[in-house]
Structure 1
């Protein structure tokens, strides 16, 4: 045999063993290749095969492998190329072809072809019949032969002993002893006597299953799931397969755990129960949901009956619960799960007699005419009664009748029963209200099986056809358009492109390999899972434009980053201060698939304008809020919905739009994401842009600040008066001015800025005017810096009203505490005014003495806070109540106000205590009496 043929045979054998043991051969060779050169010596190569795969090759096989993978001069073998051939499963670079079509599968999982012993012609034909019966039995009951023996196969070699094979063989029952001997003889492992290769038997059963499907329909090798809806009521005498299908659908649809209804009867968990227990459990589990009759249950009983009369409920439960699923599916990623037949999970409608159908048609037409005439939206009223955790789309018959009466759709009792019989669910007795609404409301849009979108079906066929093709040619693209799209993505998502590539360039050479460049683009978002699907043609365009001239297998990523990040700013802008940076808005591009409206025909534009004007008039006339309806379909909040949802929104809004008009609107607002309803609403109801008010507000603020300050009232003109004002405030409120100022002097230098000095005085609430603060600043201005104030001297001067500094050095000195004068005592009047005021007080005092009046109580009634002051109007009112107003003219009252005035909260009040004491003194009353 030639050396290439010997090498191919050895490779096939090694590939079978490696896939059987789930071994990655490359990992064991790397222990001998410390430098990762891809080469090892010949002894190391064959030693690794012996230790890893337990393969001892002869001289011819070793020579053939050396000639194919080695250089006999230096004794090195290219194990890297050898491992690539062994691990070859599918081409990872060809992502458009199906992995199933590229898969390299050995003939068996275990051993070589000799693990199956050849039989005679009669035995082989008998074996085929046995396998056909096993396949039918396993398919109906959902049995997996491999899972039956995995508990005995602890090392997962695919073989069990003959006793274990006999002990756990799952049937069928008609397999006799001779059939079992034929199976054991066929699948007995020749290398290990006494062991049976159950895994090969499992694969043969699966092969027979595919062969049986091909016999039924030679055009397809898979189960066709796209079939018509299964009727709710099958034939009078259904077959066993139809009964089991009906049970599977009801179990899947209602989420029934069938084993829960049988295991309580099986105390020993043997998997079998009596016939009566099985019938009761099946009727209780899904008898009502699947509408099982007694004859149908009996057929199921006969199928799962054992020779001793008991029923195998465990096999029945496994077949029903795994009807549309495969056990351990996470370990079988390439398996195709069978889906329910189309329409089996929907609620069907009951068939009625011909007479009842005619009468029902008349009733529905009558209700439909009334709904269309009165424009009644009935779906919302039914939905209000559907308040479960998730919408069940059913209501009770009582609720159904109540809603019809509430909407004014009154029908007689016979017609109501006819409607209930048609739209009731036979299992639960509830009424399927969406089907009823769709029957009577011609404008109601509800997805059913009958209104499947043909365009979606065609789109699905195109996708399936694309998956079957091995290669799909990417559409051509212009480099400028591609870069504009990438710049838009970087600008919209604020991406720092440099961060996605610099980790690959450790030497900061500005160049990385092509795979690293592709990987960085994928992380950046240019992939199928990111912002933009970068196909091969587009990637090739980038490679051609940014290829490194010195190294053809590398890319100048820094140049690419500079071109993309130019949307944010320009490089070396500090060298050109007069350069005009373009606005970022010019780099924004529409979404892929957007139609260029500038190339539209005049007829198309006219139709669009007419459609928008008509829709706008209807929206304004009816005052329709369009945006909430469109937003309900936008689950991702990206401003796009599908075409079907776009049409459905117009149905909900009751805006009639013809099919040509829909095409016209979709041509403008559609892209690859969907229909951009936000752009449509912006054109339909344009809003005035919000004016830029910053400049105007700044101008108003400037004018406000430029206004002249109000003139100061009662400002102190000399420094002594200012000190007296501050000391009086500090003494009355017991303030420490130093506490408000020390925080502005971090270094405790005794100085602070004039602005900080003003701020501290403001925080102390000394109520100083601008001129008074200016006098203090001039007084305590620092001699070192005119912008600073020596606040410490100011604080010492103010706090001298309480005590003196360094009093401990002069213990005999008397300290006189500052006592502020009453405000009315410092009020100065002219001599004429003093004489006129004195005469007025004498007149008042004479009357007070004569009538023995008490002045304080009436004044105290107006003094709610007991601060010894009342307002001027209150003072005059008290004089009128005491009948003293006639003794004082308006001039006299004003003189009294001026004499006894005091400031309370910025308001000038009258000190009534001093006034009363003065009157009592002139009247000759004892102090504080009366």
Structure 2
């Protein structure tokens, strides 16, 4: 298709530019590699020879991937399968610019000038003049000779009038010249010689010119200060309130917040965390490393009064790796705020470390949990589990332009990865030797270049604002969001909704008459007691530890559940109301309930009435599942009334009472064989003998001792 052809040519042209850059940089000649492979000078070689050059001696020099080599081979192949290498070499070498034919745009004398300075805007020049004037006044007042401090470095480095940015900043700090980040940036921008050095000769000349101007015009006193009557005396280096034409014209660098490339002192200082956030960070640190705080603090407590001095508290924090030098890095104001929070109100020189321990251990459990058995403890708490690393920006508070740009970049990277089948995790793993899940900013750019993902500085900055923290670029989170799949609606959603509707709890309905009839409910319980010989009193007595003959309603219901009588909530409510204690509404007289139920098995007080014959309670074996209606009860399979039926009718009779499913076919054959008699040339079952045997078994079941 046309789109695929344009994309293929674009990839081949990009590969040719990559080879052309290597040829221009190293001075490589491809003809020297391909000419010996073509002794007949036909400008054609085989595919294997063409690939052997790019994948052999030139692979490490140019750095082509196998995919790029295959694209070049396919592009320069003719119909018979050979490669037209001459056209390939001509495309590479004829497009290399020859800069020797061009005239130089500059003579180079500008950089050779020892007093060369860079051009600034009008606003920056005015502010820089104020800064230099302040420095000149300070130097003149203290009688400082600046040149020897810079020349000492030049004697060693031989930089011919230049000095590095780091040494330039150290000299100014040593001399007591305190500058802000913006002021230092203007100095470097004005007197920068190249990417990392400063022309200190031009800087000193500017200081001398200001000092000479102040002396010539009589603006300096004998003490080195500016005269009071001087109307233009400098009070501060801040710009005066003048019209600002640049306001309202936002530059791209201001929109995307490009980071400065100057000295680290120019970066804005981070504000200290709040004390609550410091405690959360410590809890996260203790949770991750499973540290017991008590083991580190108890050695400093000599009087066993749960207190220690401030210095001992600091030493204990250092042992926990919680300090300005430990694994959990805290600035001094944060440590001081933590100490102030837990100071002893009676002795300001001591710290209540056990209170600190209890607060930190909340991440594991709650103190005094044995007194609160119903308290639900969440370990770790949600705010600790979701606590982001220090240095992570609040993404929702970032400008909308940066957030939209970051989403577009992620979408582009996702499409690139899917098209090229790139495994980005392995590229990051090569730089993450200690498996920390983070890489540096430089390593991030190297990974993107290696994976041929070309992004602008603004796009890379948007990614850094989203995934950077104090450890670097969080590539684990980046890959998770990059590889996340969109949430789709499941195909079985309708079936899932039907099952939820079927399994949903039914709303409570009005109790029926049987559920409120205490006689029927007790009969159901008695039938269960007779069949399984359950001792009701033993089940209930375990809840009456003080032998009060009553138990709580909840314990009574719990005991009924152990009987497995299949009572409904309405039936349970009816029983509890019937046996409720008169003086204690929330308690049940379980002894009276046990006597009433166990009458089905044993009659109490027989020793007083020896002539009384107790009646045995015979529970009905029928249930809702085995109940027969009128038509089913009138079904007669022995219409001749001869006492025998065929095997088919036996199966039908057992099926009606749902007894056939209780026995196997082999057991059915044995039953038919046991009770069969021969009649009319076939075997028929004597159902009267069969029913008599069932009756005997039922009577024997009643005679079993309790």
If the length of structure 1 is used for normalisation, what is the TM-score?
0.32
If the length of structure 2 is used for normalisation, what is the TM-score?
0.40
